[in-house]
Structure 1
Amino acid sequence: MHDREGRIYNALWQRFSGPVRMLMNNRYVFSPFWQYHNGIDGVADWEERFRTASRSFAIAFQTGDTVRVLKFVFDRLYVLRNQLVHGGATWNSGINRNQVRDGAAILAFLMPVFVELMMDNPQEDWGLPFYPVVK
């Protein structure tokens, strides 16, 4: 809402459209895929969920719904983060290197933009910090 210059929109559709699409097409960064493979009940239909999510993402991407696109991207990046911290895509591994590289580039661009937007709009209620300074 505060990105009146369209920096986020332009980055997603021009600079990162390929990496974002590749991230969305990768089942290995889709949470229900891993839930199913870890024996969690209720996700045997992960493949249909993946197809549904892919269609929803495509609609959001085509209609320029930046908020929904970011939700999809951050959901997939969170799974990738979990793989790095808790799983098989760890240091010196060859697994998911393209996604790690692309995810890092996306975040390296977006995070400063988000901070700038927050700093430029101090009147907004951005919520309390979850990790405040504690002495």
Structure 2
Amino acid sequence: MTDSLTFSALKEKQRAIRAGFPETMGLRVHRSISWIGRAEACGDDHDARFIFLWIAFNAVYADEREFQWVAPGERAAIVDYFGKLLARAEERRVYKALWQRFSGPVRMLMENRFVFNPFWQHQNGIDGFEDWEERFRTSSRSFAQAFQAGDSVRVLSFVFDRLYVLRNQLVHGGSTWNSGVNRAQVRDGAAILGFLLPVFVDLMMDNPKEDWGRPFYPVVE
């Protein structure tokens, strides 16, 4: 069960098998688990929990392409990571984790316009986004179809498109800490990252020989 994948469980597994990890993959997992542990200590501070879990997510997927002068975009790196992660035979674990929570935070997040980027484009007066409501309905239908088809990569892409808007709101100062406004998406976003990140890390530990990419900030003596 995904609920058993706590910081302690992940750390215990990592210590038991880390001798067989390639250096770069081992560093990613070590860093991500440390931030998952920090997120667990946040209690009901959903803002902090979300931010710490996003750092844990960055630790497992971000690579040197994001730090080049002309980067291909963070979304491309995220989708590449999902492709590698879900190419494994255990990919159904991710789908099951989403399905178990579908009626809760996943569905609520996907129905929340405040984490839909075209909504904010329209609110800020940018031309071409007057039809944001139709785009929102289309996105919801496409997400439902991907879920029904069991297309885990597309499902995760939809979910993380929403989570990325939330990430930007928090990290770029577009939100007040512990605000009484728009609490739902912060709570739901933290819940989604909280049950997905441990599964991601566990899958990586089960497949250490996969090329998970080189972290741009290695340990330098």
Range into which the TM-score falls when normalised by the shorter chain: 0.7 to 0.9
- Describe the SS at the equivalent of 1:52: helix
Pairwise mapping of residues 1-135 of structure 1 onto structure 2 (< 5 A)?
A: 1-2=87-88, 4=90, 6-133=92-219
- The CA deviation string for residues 82-130 of structure 1, in whole angstroms up to 9 with x for no partner, is 2223355321211221221121121111112111211221221222224
**Percent identity over the alignment?**
79
Q: Which amino acid aligns with 2:118?
A: P
Please give the root-mean-square deviation of Cα atoms over the aligned residues, in Å.
Answer: 2.0
So what's the TM-score if we normalise by structure 1? Answer: 0.86
User: Whose Rg is larger?
Assistant: 2
- The CA deviation string for residues 47-102 of structure 1, in whole angstroms up to 9 with x for no partner, is 22111111101101222222111111111011112222335532121122122112
Instruction: Name the CA shift for 1:88/1:54 in 2 (closer, same or farther; >3 Å).
Output: same
Q: State the distance in 2 between where 1:4 and 1:120 align.
A: 9
So what's the TM-score if we normalise by structure 2? Answer: 0.55
Gaps of 5+ in 1: none
Higher relative contact order (CA 8 A, sep 6+): 2
Q: Which amino acid aligns with 1:45?
A: D
Instruction: Name the CA shift for 1:134/1:44 in 2 (closer, same or farther; >3 Å).
Output: farther
Q: State the distance in 2 between where 1:64 and 1:128 align.
A: 30
Gaps of 5+ in 2: 1-86
The CA deviation at 1:134 is: 5.3
- Describe the SS at the equivalent of 2:121: helix
Instruction: Name the CA shift for 1:95/1:130 in 2 (closer, same or farther; >3 Å).
Output: farther
- Describe the SS at the equivalent of 1:122: coil
Q: State the distance in 2 between where 1:45 and 1:129 align.
A: 40
Q: State the distance in 1 between where 2:102 and 2:155 align.
A: 12
Q: State the distance in 2 between where 1:18 and 1:130 align.
A: 36
Q: Is the 8 A contact 1:83 1:90 kept in 2?
A: no
Q: Is the 8 A contact 2:94 2:196 kept in 1?
A: yes
